[in-house]
Structure 1
Amino acid sequence: MERAHLVYSTFPDAETALAVGEALVRARLAACVNVIPGMASVYAWKGAVERGEEVVAILKSRSGLRAALADALKQRHPYETPIILHLDVAEADPGTLAWILAETGAAPG
């Protein structure tokens, strides 16, 4: 049975995250993308410690789309090495799962 699946990613700004998110929802690879602005980041990159402002994107999808979603996200993402963290969902409310499955083209059950 398909399970709900989340992907955590970061973007340089809300407009970029929303544009990529909309493309992924229109492609039915995600049912929803939440964009959370105002994140300050400290990270190591190419031997230096950097600071920057970013936004978080949480993509709601299903387990069967894990690879396709990651590939599409990489193709559209502006970062050289985008953060793509797959978060397996142990359980989802039945209504939430049915909505995710319906919006990503999977038959329930």
Structure 2
Amino acid sequence: MSIVSIITVGDLKHAEEIARRLVGERLAACVNILPSMRSVYRWKDRVEESTEFILLVKTEQRVFEKMKRRVLELHSYELPEIIALDISEGLEGYLDWISSNVE
């Protein structure tokens, strides 16, 4: 099953590095890097704010654990956001393309 994984990173350099590695290592078919946004969150009993980038990672459920481990190796955060959403519907050819470009 195809999924979209959402990952936040602190700067464009890390966003590009993670995206290139995931696609290059066939852990993702495509990664979109969304421009900077503001995040407000609770961390260690404090309300924090920071500028982050969002990675939208198109991949397959079958490689999610491997992809997650790779992101953890590359990521600069102590506890990065790495979540996944099932793609329940989509253009069949596009979903086939995702599947055929992920190992």
TM-score between the two structures when normalised by the length of structure 1? 0.90
Gapped regions of structure 2 (runs ≥ 5): none
Please tell me whether residue 92 in structure 1 is matched to residue 90 in structure 2.
yes
Please tell me whether residue 40 in structure 1 is matched to residue 38 in structure 2.
yes
Structure 1 CA distance for aligned equivalents of residues 57 and 47 of structure 2: 27
1:11-50 correspondence to structure 2 within 5 Å: 11-50=9-48
Residue by residue, what CA displacement relative to the aligned partner does 1:30-68 show, whole Å, maximum 9, x if unpaired?
Answer: 001111112011111111111111111110001111111
1:52-71 correspondence to structure 2 within 5 Å: 52-71=50-69
Q: Say how many residue pairs are matched.
A: 103
Structure 1 CA distance for aligned equivalents of residues 56 and 44 of structure 2: 26
Contact 1:13 1:37 in 2 (8 A): no
Structure 2 CA distance for aligned equivalents of residues 66 and 23 of structure 1: 14
Of all paired residues, the percent bearing the same amino acid is 34
Structure 2 CA distance for aligned equivalents of residues 83 and 22 of structure 1: 18
Q: State the match for 2:79 in structure 1.
A: 81
Dislocated runs of 4+, deviation >2 Å:
none
Structure 2 CA distance for aligned equivalents of residues 91 and 77 of structure 1: 30
Gapped regions of structure 1 (runs ≥ 5): none
Shift of 1:15: 1.6
Q: State the match for 1:10 in structure 2.
A: 8
**Match of 2:89, SS?**
coil
